[in-house]
Amino acid sequence: MSKSDVSYNTPEIDEGVMKWGMHALQWRGYNHIADHRPGSGTFDAVLANAMDPPGEDSGMDGPDQVFKHVSCHGAKRLNELESSGIFKTDGVPTDPKGSWECVEEGDPKAAAILGAMNMYAWNTPTYVDLTIRCADFPNPGLISPSHCDPFGPNPNPIVSEAVVMREITLCAEGSKPPHIVCNWDQGAQGEVGPCESFLALENIKVGIFEISPGGYASHNLYGRDYAGNLEIWERNYIEAMNRMDIPKVLNQLVFDSGRH
């Protein structure tokens, strides 16, 4: 039987030192500028960064505290910041279209499918927590030296980080691509549902927001070239739900809705 493979992805954002929340606002800023005639739509990145977008342990700032970097409280904070004057249209403060949403998901395959669904429907990044091990990388230098010191007392620490899903490859049986098989054009976004059983996850690539020294490190950690890559994805996704020996809290995925 034939199979249809499709890679879903979201546009690259300039790399640099930033929190995951700043990365989200910058993505929104690029879209806000692109949606308007030249010079009409603006985004004040300096002001946005000064207003402390969500980053490390954003889940501990909300009323329902969870040990999460990417959190539902972080999504709420992003929506607050977007209406604070950092976006303007013809000099007038604007709340750009779309809204940051949050869902809880305990299954790594369902999370990846949801990320692909978001990319297809709204071209949006999807953010989530993962644990990162230095041994997952071919070169320990890909994570900050403070985390990966092969000569230190803990050469392979398990570190919780925020990541952004950059590219996801799904496979469906038959000639139709996954988004057709799952009826994503019919407004099915927001939950994976029974469609998961018809899809296979082949590949996922993420970018990591390092806590120290901080910033977006565009590493294709779960690339197709890594042996056992999906087992690593599944392990690190599940580990992130048991951070610091605290009772299991489902991972919280943050993404935008309404970008067409």
Tell me the sheet residues that pair with 165.
126, 206
pLDDT value for 225: 42
Q: How confident is the model at residue 222 (pLDDT cuts 50, 70, 90)?
A: low
On the question of pLDDT at 208 being above 90, the answer is no
The stretch 52-71 carries a mean pLDDT of: 90
39-42: list long-range contacts, CB under 8 Å, 24+ apart.
40/89, 40/90, 41/87, 41/88, 41/89, 41/94, 42/87, 42/88, 42/89
Q: d(Cα 67, Cα 252) in Å, to the nearest integer?
A: 11
**pLDDT tens, position by position, 118-164:** 888 888 899 999 988 777 665 555 555 556 666 666 666 777 889 99
Cβ pair 77, 231 in contact under 8 A: no
**Does the pLDDT value for residue 188 go beyond 60?**
no
Count of domains observed in the chain: 1
Question: Could you report the per-residue pLDDT of 28-46, keeping only the tens digit for each?
Answer: 998 888 888 988 999 998 8
pLDDT at 138: 56
Q: Tell me if 231 is assigned to some domain.
A: yes
User: By C-alpha distance, which of 260, 254, 256 is closest to 71?
Assistant: 254
User: Cα 200 to chain center, whole Å?
Assistant: 20
pLDDT (0 to 100) of residue 1: 28
pLDDT band at 256 (very low <50, low <70, confident <90, very high): very high
Mean pLDDT along residues 51-80 = 92
More confidently predicted of 147 and 235: 235
Q: What is the mean pLDDT of the chain?
A: 80
Domain contains 117:
yes
Q: Residue 116: left if φ>0, alpha if ψ -120 to 50, beta else—which one?
A: alpha
pLDDT band at residue 180 using 50, 70 and 90 as cut-offs: confident
Q: How confident is the model at residue 200 (pLDDT cuts 50, 70, 90)?
A: confident
- Does 187 reside within a domain? yes
Residue 190 belongs to domain spanning: 3-254
C-alpha distances in angstroms, 95 versus 32, 41, 172, 175, 194? 10, 11, 38, 41, 35
Identify whether 260 is part of a domain.
Answer: no
Q: Would 259 be classed as within a structural domain?
A: no
Determine which of 34-48, 84-98, 236-250 has the lowest per-residue pLDDT on average: 236-250
Residue 102 lies in a domain: yes
In a domain, 159, yes or no: yes
Q: Please give the model's pTM, rounded to 2 decimal places.
A: 0.87
The DSSP H or E segment spanning 34 is helix 20-34
